Amino acid sequence: MPQLETLPATASPDEILAILKRDGALILKDALSADQVSRVLTETLPYIEATENGRDDFTGHQTTRTGALVARSPACCELVMHPTIVSCAETFLKPFCDRIQLHLTQVIRIRPGQARQQIHRDRWAWGTHLKDLEPQFNTIWAISDFTKENGATQVCPGSLSWPDNTTPTDEQIGYAEMSAGSVLIYSGGVFHGGGANVSNGDRIGLNITYTLGWLRQEENQYLSCPPEIAATLSPELQALIGYSMGSYALGYYTPPLPAGEGPELVPPEYVFGKTTLEAAQFGSEELRAEITAAIKGEA
């Protein structure tokens, strides 16, 4: 059985990304304090307990999936904005985009009796159309201890180059066994899946993932965290969940006001009362110059 490499919480982004690009996944040990783990669980547990089980084999008949965590939990917002994770996500994804965005927030509770999930790639959220780039940087934070018995995530290290139609053997599957407060970091291209829970307790993990700013998000952040809630967040988190231009001319809108009572093309930040600026509407001067050069064939 292959073993996932484990790094200390103090590991540098360079160390993390080197293993991620080689193996597709790794564990960062004890990245959260006991207090942080406790706050995440306290703030999310009422929603977890009210969440129904999945309705098919993939989502899990004994698994609950609870979202809208940016709107519901300040402690989860801290994890979304974790400096090491965000730095790694930006470095990992920015060869393929101008801005990254939050893709998904979800507490996944695997309950006793849940069978193991089908092995898959998370990037299949967009089908198999994306071939020559990596669209996703993913994390699963352990809010309870993860063991093979209670459903630790199945991971196939080294599977980034496998064809999409590969069916992994048991000998190719490892398990992300880790203590509460640790985090599994994995690529959208690595084969993985939830483990079977043959224990008598729940396995609780917090799935937070990031993607390219020009792709559609799996969790619609504008509905999960509408403007009146997003207005209470930091500008950095507002931008990460999508209240910002994804690239040149991606994400502007026209306020639906009576004729002559409002501007036409404005960036998402306008909803928070921020001044409309040309640079905010259509990207930075550097980005506009780059696109102009490309159009003229000068790039």
By the 8 A CB rule, do 207 and 40 touch? no
Residue 298, pLDDT above cutoff 60: no
Helix (H, G, I), strand (E, B) or coil at 196: coil
Distance between CA atoms of 29 and 183, rounded to whole angstroms? Answer: 7
Model pLDDT for residues 172-195, shown as the tens digit of each residue:
999 999 999 999 999 999 999 999
* Percent of the chain scoring above 90 in pLDDT: 82
Q: What are residue 258's DSSP bridge partners? A: none
Model pLDDT for residues 152-175, shown as the tens digit of each residue:
999 999 999 999 999 999 999 999
Model pLDDT for residues 52-76, shown as the tens digit of each residue:
999 999 999 999 999 999 999 999 9
Residue 249, pLDDT above cutoff 60: yes
Q: How confident is the model at residue 280 (pLDDT cuts 50, 70, 90)?
A: very low
Q: How confident is the model at residue 292 (pLDDT cuts 50, 70, 90)?
A: low
Tell me how far CA of residue 99 lies from CA of 36, 94, 210, 259, 265, in angstroms: 28, 7, 11, 33, 20
Distance between CA atoms of 83 and 231, rounded to whole angstroms? Answer: 22
Distance between CA atoms of 244 and 280, rounded to whole angstroms? Answer: 8
Model pLDDT for residues 73-101, shown as the tens digit of each residue:
999 999 999 999 999 999 999 999 999 99
| 3-state DSSP percent of the chain in helix, strand and coil, to 5 | 30, 20, 50
- Find the helix packing angle between 13-23 and 83-93, rounded to 10°: 50
Q: How confident is the model at residue 299 (pLDDT cuts 50, 70, 90)?
A: very low
Question: What is the pLDDT at residue 99?
Answer: 93
Question: Any idea where the domains of the chain sit in the sequence?
Answer: 6-222, 245-295
Question: What is the pLDDT at residue 132?
Answer: 84
Question: What is the pLDDT at residue 123?
Answer: 96
Judge: domain 6-222, CATH 2.60.120.620: yes
Containing 70, the helix (H) or strand (E) segment is: helix 69-72
Helix (H, G, I), strand (E, B) or coil at 40: helix
Global pTM value: 0.91
Residue 219, pLDDT above cutoff 50: yes
Q: pLDDT averaged over the chain?
A: 92
Question: What is the pLDDT at residue 282?
Answer: 44
